[in-house]
Amino acid sequence: MSWLENRERTHSAKEILKVIWPYVTRRKGFLIFIIIVSFFASIVGLVSPLLVREVINNAIPNEKMNLVWIFGLSIFGVAIFGGFMTYYSRFYSAKYAQQAVFELRNDIYEILQKISLEFYDDENTGQIMTRVTTDLNAIQSLISFTLRLIMNGLVFFIGAYVAMLVMSWKLGLILVALFPGFIWLVYWFSAKVRPLFYKARRQFGDVTSILQENVTGAHVVRGFAQEEDEIKKFDSSNTVYRDLRIKTQVYRAVYFSTMTLLIGIGSTLVIVVGGIAVTKQQLLLGDFIAFLSYLALLPGPTRQLTWLVGILQRSLASGDRIIELIEAKREVQEDPNAIEPPKFLGNISYKDVSFEYEEGRLILNKIQVNIPAGQKVVILGGTGSGKSSFVNLLSRFYDPTEGEVLIDDKNVKRYKLKKMRQQIGLVLQETYLFNATIKENIAFGKPDAEDDEIQEVCKIARMHDFITSLPDGYGTKVGDRGITLSGGQKQRLSIARTLLTDPSILIFDDSTASVDAETEAQIQEALNILSAGRTTLIISQRISSVHYADRVLVFEEGRIIQDGSHNELIEAHGLYQEIYQTLAESYGTDIDENDSNQGGYE
């Protein structure tokens, strides 16, 4: 479980409102219009019982038919006006909420684009997806329903109570006496359900994550015949989610049934006491009927206030999770005074660089190295030796804990991130392709690229002939994560994508580790063309890569323990010679041969 999922604290309603409020108040005129319309829609509901009261108390006893018609038509007019007000209230509240959440969702997505990669290292996809979808939908419901329910519920509730107290303060006091019960019930319900809603939201993220992993990893699941285990895993997580949701429904059932009981007690007392008062002529019949009309209408706004409590609790739980996302770690931030980098020459320097993902656990330890522009450097080392962290600092995916990383004698922190990264080309071991066309994937880093440019880089990457042999050519869809292509084809598309951006510095992260000898030779040929005249860092576990390099850096436990050319390191009788000798002997070749031995070092 990630650091974010495992947090226990919850944010106050004030903290959550502080985040949502700017989105709610951006269109103040629109907001005021909704408040006014919702207010009138609520007030209209209070008028009809008063008109009925006048008909019974004045028009009928005095046989004034003209008043009967006037009051009757007035009730009809009030109903029509109320219908229009209710329509505008519902429609514009929903529209307003959609716009507010639309802007919030865009800002959340922007945060996800800029957030520290450590967040993605820790957090699972399902939790992130749930925050951007389900949790934001809960906020949308809060914005959409709050104004309307407050007006329809609270305004009508208060207005009806005032009217009833005016008509008969004795009957009104019966209902007022039930207030403490209502208040306690709302407090109890809120205290019980908010933690449950939070847990349910988090659990739903786990369910979504398992689903997402199994959809994208369907081939792995089938290949290892793990279908039954994955079904059990999903069932277990889904069961926890189901039980949490059922538990919230238990509290809702208790809440609604108790609320209904309190209303029933009040109604019974009102009918008995009011009926006696009418028979003794202590209360006018019209007042009593109007009182009963208000009493009959009260369950509606009472339910609305109950829904509001539920919506509020769900929204607070979701607001917690959204704020957690907004407050997630952002170690890498652009300096407000950052400069536009010129075209890089490609000089790279690491000055006493140390780095740790977790405090006290060094990944890189006092790295000191200079790489001149245009030099091709192979980086060797075992798993966990610090190779990938070394190059990740260059692109500022992370910042060093100590020391400086420089490009062309300037700390990388002084450059604008986007412009800097556009000059650093990445070819990763796990090539990620989008579910789009070949052309769209190649042009990802340069969307305005011309067809001739795209075709030229594909020729260099030895992919043009293959692409043109496809029925749809460059318009061919590659499928989710490029599933329709082989590993070598995906790597060469990645090389073409990188070449199109014309970077000054190239990073190849074990880009030939999982391909066969023939495919590696094709990729290596493309890499040689791509790296010409550029500073190139090649993370490799294949000893064949050193024959194309000017220099080799050997990493062990976060330190560079050897640095030199292939021939210099062979003569140094250190770790590099041991690795090379072992691999050469395993293939029956001499270590001095500049061949393309296919081997890996872990």
Q: Classify residue 422 by burial, with Cβ atoms within 10 Å: 0-12, 13-18, 19+.
A: middle
Q: Look-up: residue for tokens 């409590």?
A: 309
pLDDT at position 227: 76
**Residue 209, CB half-sphere, CA atoms under 13 Å: how many?**
19
Q: Which of 286-300, 454-468, 552-566 has the lowest mean pLDDT?
A: 286-300
488 to 163, 378, 405: CA distances (angstroms): 79, 20, 32
Domains belonging to the chain, first-starting first, are 13-326 (1.20.1560.10), 430-502 (3.40.50.300)
Distance in angstroms (rounded) separating the CA atoms of residues 482 and 491: 10
Other beta carbons within 10 angstroms of residue 414's beta carbon come to 14
pLDDT at 370 over 80: yes
pLDDT at 6 over 90: no
pLDDT at position 597: 38
pLDDT at position 3: 36
Instruction: Look over the chain and give the mean of its residue pLDDT values, rounded to a whole number.
Output: 79
Using an 8 Å Cβ cutoff, are 176 and 298 in contact? no
pLDDT band at 359 (very low <50, low <70, confident <90, very high): confident
Q: Which residues pair with 554 in a beta bridge?
A: 380, 562
pLDDT at position 4: 43
pLDDT at position 253: 84
- Residue-wise pLDDT tens digits, 379-438: 888 778 888 889 889 988 888 989 999 999 999 999 998 889 888 888 876 677 777 888
Plot region of 281 (φ>0 → left; ψ -120 to 50 → alpha; else → beta):
left
Q: Which of 83-87, 221-225, 257-261 has the lowest mean pLDDT?
A: 221-225
pLDDT at 134 over 70: yes
pLDDT band at 7 (very low <50, low <70, confident <90, very high): very low
Q: Which of 7-21, 41-55, 285-299, 512-526 has the lowest mean pLDDT?
A: 512-526
Using an 8 Å Cβ cutoff, are 418 and 339 in contact? no
User: Percent helix, strand, coil in the chain (nearest 5)?
Assistant: 65, 10, 25
pLDDT at position 481: 62
Q: Which residues pair with 377 in a beta bridge?
A: 537, 551
pLDDT at position 596: 38
DSSP label at 408?
A: T
Using an 8 Å Cβ cutoff, are 400 and 355 in contact? yes
Alpha helices in 298-376 (DSSP H): 299-326
Q: Which of 223-232, 265-274, 341-350, 451-460 has the lowest mean pLDDT?
A: 223-232
- In terms of pLDDT, which residue wins out, 73 or 310? 73
Q: What is the longest distance spanned by two Cα atoms in the chain?
A: 122
Using an 8 Å Cβ cutoff, are 501 and 445 in contact? yes
Single-letter residue type at 21: W
Using an 8 Å Cβ cutoff, are 145 and 308 in contact? yes
pLDDT at position 8: 47
pLDDT at position 517: 60
Other beta carbons within 10 angstroms of residue 90's beta carbon come to 17
pLDDT at 595 over 50: no
| Highest mean pLDDT of the ranges 218-222, 382-386, 486-490 | 382-386
pLDDT band at 330 (very low <50, low <70, confident <90, very high): low
Annotate 256-276 with b (16+ C-beta within 10 A) or e (fewer).
eebbeebbeebbeebeeebee
pLDDT band at 347 (very low <50, low <70, confident <90, very high): very high
What percent of the chain shows pLDDT beyond 90?
Answer: 8
Does pTM surpass 0.85? no
- Residue-wise pLDDT tens digits, 36-93: 888 888 888 788 888 888 888 777 777 778 888 887 888 888 889 888 888 888 888 8
| Highest mean pLDDT of the ranges 272-286, 313-327, 359-373 | 359-373
- In terms of pLDDT, which residue wins out, 577 or 331? 577
Residue by residue, DSSP assigns 138-159 as: HHHHHHHHHHHHIIIIIIHHHH
pLDDT band at 224 (very low <50, low <70, confident <90, very high): low
